[in-house]
Amino acid sequence: MARHMPRSVSFGSRTIVIYHIVSKLADFHAPRALTMTPILRYQPSANIAQLRESATIAVSAKAKALKAAGRQIIDLGAGEPDFDTPSFINEAAAKAVQNGATRYTATEGILPLREAIAAQANATYKGADRVLAGDIVVSTGSKQSLFNACFTLFGPGDEVLIPVPSWTSYFEMVELARATVVPVAGEALRGFKVTAAQLAKAATPRTKGLMLNSPVNPTGSVYDEAELRSILDLASERGWWVLCDEIYQRIAYTSASAPGAFDVATTRDNLIVINGVAKAYAMTGWRIGWTISQPAVAKAMTAFQSHTTSNPAAVSQHAALAAMTRTAEADAAIAAMVSQFRARRDSAMAILRQDPRIEVVAPDGAFYLFIRAPKTASGEDAGSAFAAKLLDQASVAVVPGSAFLTPDWIRASYAAEQSEVDEAMRRIVAAYASPA
Ligand SMILES: Cc1ncc(COP(=O)(O)O)c(C=O)c1O
């Protein structure tokens, strides 16, 4: 006979009753009422009660599901280069595995990789406090680097300035750290780039930091050196942490590399520069990102990471090491990829500009087009309405701007075949012209 042994376990103020079932084969025939296990109803913890699913990943998942069901979808929702990792990187990784790179490494990453990252930073950073390997923490993608930084620097009662639009995960990460998001809206006319004056206006005595991303996802805007300098100067004056996310730095159309914090900063004690291999080297699946910060912050993030994921995959670190040190091959691969992105951008912009009513941010970096959606009758969430129309009627998947706190816009990625991007743009122009 089944024995139900209720036990209660206390977690703080909550008590959970656990039914322990000791069953034998014969018990399957026992009366149902006796053998039913009560279902523990799931309630999201206070930590994630406000968490929203990533809208960008949701769009990609929906597009993939429609494709699997037989629909011909042009998926412009993706946030990853549609190129393969350069083969010299794959080969270096395979060799590293054969040579035994299959074990745990130091939590903060292998020393040669951190030295290569430091050397690259010092090539532009001219401050007295040179970047050392000990200032670097390598993580499982720059997403984890950003989360490590948010979680170790911000907490309850802190306010964090986030330019709007910004990549969807910033809002969630700051909230997961139980800090308060303070959105700072950019102006469409300036490609949505925020100014030091706008940030100063939004600040309060509780402002603890700022998220800064250039080239920007979702607009493709690039902050120039003067714009970056004035924001970093303000942050230094006010004692704010600045999380500079430079993951799209090498995907830039006016110079080989978009300006970064180290091009303009003279000190870096309040800077956390985040970068990684995902976008520049078409290595999204390898999951390697990093932070460069002052040593005390690096130490705190290492301790945090040691209790969550430990080191990023050893093989991926060796792949990243090849990408960072075999610069001639890497630069050639990046140049080839960027020239294709540029051609697609130019062609897509030319198609969109055939209809002068279509407002689109002219992108100088990354691989996104940020397009204002036609107005809805209700005046609300035009971006979601237009994204739904594009998917249902034109079989084009894009991300609604609400994911970036700009509900009147949509984001279309041009990380897809040129012919597909062009066709999608023609469909967007047609959908724009046709009534809802
Ligand atoms: C602005 C921005 N930062 C960080 C990331 C995360 O990149 P990773 O693949 O290195 O985690 C993304 C990915 O889309 C991004 O758009």
Predicted confidence at residue 79, as pLDDT, reads 87
Longest dimension (CA), the chain: 78
CATH topology of domain 99-325: Aspartate Aminotransferase; domain 2 (3.40.640)
Distance from residue 10's CA to the centre of ligand 1 (Å): 39
Residues of the chain with CATH 3.90.1150.10: 55-83+330-433
Residue 317 structure tokens: 């670190």
Burial class (CB in 10 A: 0-12, 13-18, 19+), 254: exposed
Distance from residue 144's CA to the centre of ligand 1 (Å): 9
Return the best residue to mutate from 57, 150, 167 for the ligand 1 pocket (most ligand atoms within 8 A of CB): 167
Distance from residue 47's CA to the centre of ligand 1 (Å): 22
Return the best residue to mutate from 80, 279, 284, 413 for the ligand 1 pocket (most ligand atoms within 8 A of CB): 279
**Residue in this structure with the two tokens 């998220």, named with its chain if needed:** 211
Radius of gyration of the chain (CA): 24
Distance from residue 142's CA to the centre of ligand 1 (Å): 6
Q: Which of 270, 255, 129 is nearest to 212 (CA)?
A: 270
Predicted confidence at residue 282, as pLDDT, reads 98
- Tens of pLDDT along the chain (436 residues) come to 344 444 444 444 444 444 444 344 444 444 555 567 778 999 999 888 888 877 777 777 888 888 899 999 999 998 899 999 999 999 999 999 999 999 999 999 999 999 999 999 999 999 989 999 999 999 999 999 999 999 999 999 999 999 999 999 999 999 999 999 999 999 999 999 999 999 999 999 999 999 999 999 999 999 999 999 999 999 999 999 999 999 999 999 999 899 999 999 999 999 999 999 999 999 999 999 999 999 999 999 999 999 999 999 999 999 999 999 999 999 999 999 999 999 999 999 999 999 999 999 999 999 999 999 999 888 778 999 999 999 999 999 999 999 999 999 999 999 999 999 999 999 999 999 986 6
Three-class SS state of 319: helix
Predicted confidence at residue 32, as pLDDT, reads 53
Burial class (CB in 10 A: 0-12, 13-18, 19+), 90: middle
Residues of the chain with CATH 3.40.640.10: 99-325
Distance from residue 19's CA to the centre of ligand 1 (Å): 43
Return the best residue to mutate from 172, 247, 284, 370 for the ligand 1 pocket (most ligand atoms within 8 A of CB): 247
Question: Please, what is the end-to-end C-alpha distance for the chain in angstroms?
Answer: 64
Please identify, by atom number, the ligand 1 atom nearest to the C-alpha of residue 284: 9
Predicted confidence at residue 34, as pLDDT, reads 57
Please identify, by atom number, the ligand 1 atom nearest to the C-alpha of residue 166: 1
Cis amide bond preceding 86, omega within 30: no
Please list every protein residue whose CB sits less than 6 Å from any atom of ligand 1. Answer: 79, 141-143, 167, 213, 217, 245, 247, 276, 278, 284, 289
Distance from residue 384's CA to the centre of ligand 1 (Å): 22
16 neighbors 25 (Cβ within 8 angstroms): no
Distance from residue 38's CA to the centre of ligand 1 (Å): 41
Please identify, by atom number, the ligand 1 atom nearest to the C-alpha of residue 245: 3
Secondary structure letter of residue 99 according to DSSP? T
Q: Which of 56, 262, 277, 82 is nearest to 170 (CA)?
A: 56
Predicted confidence at residue 235, as pLDDT, reads 98
Distance from residue 247's CA to the centre of ligand 1 (Å): 6
Return the best residue to mutate from 139, 142, 275 for the ligand 1 pocket (most ligand atoms within 8 A of CB): 142
Burial class (CB in 10 A: 0-12, 13-18, 19+), 194: buried
Strand order in the sheet with 271-276: 136-139, 289-292, 271-276, 241-245, 207-213, 159-164, 180-185
Instruction: Give 55-83+330-433's CATH code, choosing from 3.90.1150.10, 3.30.70.1150, 3.40.390.30, 3.20.20.10.
Output: 3.90.1150.10
Closest-CA residue, ligand 1 atom 14, reads: 79
Distance from residue 217's CA to the centre of ligand 1 (Å): 9
Please identify, by atom number, the ligand 1 atom nearest to the C-alpha of residue 213: 1
Please identify, by atom number, the ligand 1 atom nearest to the C-alpha of residue 56: 14
C-beta neighbour count of 356 within 10 angstroms: 7
Q: How far apart are CA 329 and CA 114, in angstroms?
A: 20
Predicted confidence at residue 67, as pLDDT, reads 87
